Structure 1
Amino acid sequence: MKKPRTLTTRERKLIAVYSQCQLGMMPRQFYVKWGVTYEEIAFICSRSDSTVRGWFKRGKNRRSPTATDLRHLALMDFLLEHFEEIPEELWRLLCPPSES
């Protein structure tokens, strides 16, 4: 079994910065900005279509997205804005091709 790496001071600072990061985007903001469907938002967030529809309802039947959902939408927004700037090697590290 391989011994885990010891974190450097710089890496510990990066963890501290990341843990305080409030990265998030509301579903309505994403919907308006990108002209996507509720189904596409559901796909991005790994949620059901009915859950996403609940995010857009008003009143007592309204559902709220989780912090994880907001982060998924913010990351997707970032990727849509900057995908052409991201080197292919970094794409492979972030999203390795599935083994078929």
Structure 2
Amino acid sequence: MPKPRPLQTRELRLISAYSNWEFGMTPQQFYSKWEVSYEQIALICSRSDSTVRGWFRNGRNRRYPTRNDLLHLGLMDFWLEHFEEIPKHIQVLLGIAS
């Protein structure tokens, strides 16, 4: 088993930047931008359909997405907007192209 790589200044800066990243998109923003169903949003966020429906409710039964949900929707929006600009070898590394 190979020895883990030590973290240098560069890696520590990347970890700090990532942990403070304010990137994301609300379900309402995503839904209004893209012609998607609640089921597709649930698939993107790995949530149940009923959870996603709760995000769009008003009143006491309303649910709220987590920071991870906002990140998933933000990343999906980015991929939908910029997929062709992502170099092929990066698409392969991300598992979004063969």
TM-score between both structures, scaled by the size of structure 2 = 0.93
Aligned to 1:59: 59
Aligned to 1:76: 76
The offset of 1:96, in angstroms, is 6.5
Aligned to 1:86: 86
Letter paired with 2:3: K
Aligned to 2:18: 18
Distance in 1, matches of 2:3 and 2:66, equals 35
The offset of 1:79, in angstroms, is 0.6
Structure 1 residue runs of 4 or more that deviate by more than 2 Å after TM superposition? none
The offset of 1:33, in angstroms, is 0.4
Letter paired with 2:79: L
Distance in 2, matches of 1:96 and 1:61, equals 36
- In structure 1, runs of 5+ residues without a counterpart are none
How many residue pairs are counted as aligned between the two chains?
A: 98
Q: Deviations over 1:16-68 (max 9, x none)?
A: 11111011110000000012110110110011111100100000010111111
RMSD: 1.5
Aligned to 1:6: 6
Distance in 2, matches of 1:94 and 1:62, equals 34
